[in-house]
Structure 1
């Protein structure tokens, strides 16, 4: 297999998110709906000084301090209305606070979204949450998205709050953080190596994560440079293709995981009409019904993949690559960001397992949806699927913990099982 498109080297510091521009009232799925919005202490104090007005009344009714807040970043939150909308959302589908008082009165969360801000070695990185439709289009549909950036932000946004690369501590697993940049660049090379199918690239990513996970002390970090060099050599020399081709696929287990993980999302309490629409689209594509058998569902799933999804992705190889690359940038994969009050530290291989769980669900949903859309399966359907999935799960640490626990409970955390799950 030859490279379909020559790709530019990935940037060491992603900045593409700073070029994002909101569609404002023209958005497919406004961020002012369905989210729990945190309010930092500075913004909360601004809100308490607002003069008497409709906006101030909404503040008094809907903005509440978080009891026992662990940080100033999560000092308060905006309670949604009964119909799951932000109380400041206007009939013109705009932010009332921004309209009345300007950008300076936006909370850090509202000012930066959908940008994901991470600080690495003193440098601010700006990637994107794909839960925003325009951000999803910007990332998924542009073959060179990672190298896109402006000389400065397209519009102003706050940069005073950001996540940091996790660090070794007494309650967290040891990770070779000093090699973060080298590891990420090597993983970028692995993922964009189109001389081999994407599932093999993802599998090699897992092998690398497994080896890095075995570096359990500062003294053992001397092995990391050798690990990186070995995978760089795999990319340069194209080795292991024949060996990996012999790894079997377990499409039945893949479909079962997609159904279970999607059901978990629907039961997680997240109300997402768009995700439910995508899931129903998927079920229709595999002919899922109370009277259908697992064998029949699997047969239709495989047909949809071979007849519609694979041909489409072969014509658009950058789409799933871009999804994975943005994930790597956004989450500081495979090392992770500093644990928030809502998450717990994970090992490098747990970070990989979590990535696989989400990737298999996204790819599996696309397979089923292609079976329903058939010749009308297009980029628009892909963007809606990824965006609605991302909005449902990426901002829910509790759901991600449940996903990881589900995969561990079903013994889907070894390389053989994960390889079998990967769509071919």
Structure 2
């Protein structure tokens, strides 16, 4: 890392606290839970007969050449719950032995631990309802600082900033801190609509994507300076505003990407409910074309969602900033089960597509609830979408393939995805 840019990190990751039985979508339901080798061996020695029996019945060794991190798994019971979940919806292992006995996954989630230049950064998965509320609804949630940990969680396993190597796409890792600082400043530029900020981020990522060698990296400071000047002068605002919105195409993309996940049968009831409300609010019927119901979509955005975001301008900004820290955008998290090497612009396409789908679904939901649309509806959508998508590398690959297949992975395509 070069320069004197101070480390930037949010404080909310360390201060997160689970709300236990009050959670409306517990992480102990619906997911097979990976278990590390050390925890697996510890569970075989439970002194309690009931816990030991559960361990033998519901914990399975993973076959093949697997890492110690993914050594085994906890299989769910018939109710799709973790077998160690008690009748009062608390963890039986933690009740009897304390948090030190939790597997790495159970101890850390929904926190995301990233090692960046020997510093551990902690952000949050928004697939947890309480994490989504904590990140999205607090206007000050992106205040930068270390924050004191409010509870025990394991720190022995983490992902790290990816790096250059044989067979990998070259990226200017030496300038990680400076690039991140510029990205944060760009996303926090509330002098322009959020869609413009995301669009400009795409332009920045496209330029950085063209740096193929270490020698090319010397141009990074000038590239970043160009974008700092855009922020300082408000340049390109009018030109971007003059770009034509294409709501019918945008709506078709939102429908197809959301429907693709639902058809796979693992999106969850909460996300399906949100999708159904979106379809109703957008005026969608199976026999209608996007052009026929695009008018409902445009009206819902203008009359219901836009006024909501005018009252809460920080919500989706917080979503994007959390995404930047969680994924180490636009470089990626090495040693993460959810990381597939991408180019810088490829990383951006995944971010922009997920933002566009969430925003599009929110438009339909706002059209469904109208004046009653509120933060509870938004949290349900973002959380259930995150749970259905963020932990599924194969679906994320399908998203990227879809965007490229529709020739939307370019500046014109970004305008279609982003502008309302």
TM-score > 0.5, shorter chain as reference: yes
Aligned to 1:254: 250
3-state SS of 1:74 partner = coil
**Alignment of 1:299 onto 2:261:** no
Aligned to 1:38: 34
RMSD: 1.7
* Aligned-pair CA distance for 1:48: 1.3
Aligned to 2:395: 399
- Listed as ranges, the gaps of 5+ residues in structure 2 are none
Per-residue Cα deviation, 1:124-155 (whole angstroms, up to 9, x for no partner): 00110000000000011011102266752101
Per-residue Cα deviation, 1:145-199 (whole angstroms, up to 9, x for no partner): 0226675210111111111000111121000001111101101111111111111
Which of 215, 235, 239 aligns to 1:239? It is 235
Aligned to 1:358: 354
> Structure 1 residues 70-79 or 123-132, which shifts more?
70-79
Which of 251, 270, 283 aligns to 1:274? It is 270
- Normalization by structure 1: what TM-score? 0.95
Query: 2:234 & 2:290 partners in 1: Cα distance?
Result: 38
* Aligned-pair CA distance for 1:340: 4.2
Aligned to 2:165: 169
3-state SS of 2:213 partner = coil
* Aligned-pair CA distance for 1:317: 0.5
Query: 1:28 & 1:121 partners in 2: Cα distance?
Result: 37
* Aligned-pair CA distance for 1:247: 2.0
User: In structure 2, do the counterparts of structure 1 residues 294 and 240 end up closer, same or farther at CA, with 3 Å as the change threshold?
Assistant: closer
User: In structure 2, do the counterparts of structure 1 residues 225 and 187 end up closer, same or farther at CA, with 3 Å as the change threshold?
Assistant: same
Query: 2:32 & 2:24 partners in 1: Cα distance?
Result: 19
Moved over 6 A (4+): none
User: In structure 2, do the counterparts of structure 1 residues 19 and 342 end up closer, same or farther at CA, with 3 Å as the change threshold?
Assistant: closer
- Listed as ranges, the gaps of 5+ residues in structure 1 are 1-8
Query: 1:114 & 1:167 partners in 2: Cα distance?
Result: 25
User: In structure 2, do the counterparts of structure 1 residues 270 and 117 end up closer, same or farther at CA, with 3 Å as the change threshold?
Assistant: same
3-state SS of 1:353 partner = helix
* Aligned-pair CA distance for 1:341: 5.6
Is 2:110–2:131's contact at 8 Å kept on the other side of the alignment?
Answer: yes
**Alignment of 1:326 onto 2:309:** no
Query: 1:293 & 1:394 partners in 2: Cα distance?
Result: 29
Superposed, which structure 2 residues align to 1:330-349 within 5 Å?
A: 330-338=326-334, 340=336, 343-349=339-345
Which of 190, 196, 206 aligns to 1:194? It is 190
Is 2:282–2:364's contact at 8 Å kept on the other side of the alignment?
Answer: yes
* Aligned-pair CA distance for 1:82: 2.7
Aligned to 2:385: 389
- Normalization by structure 2: what TM-score? 0.96
3-state SS of 2:121 partner = strand
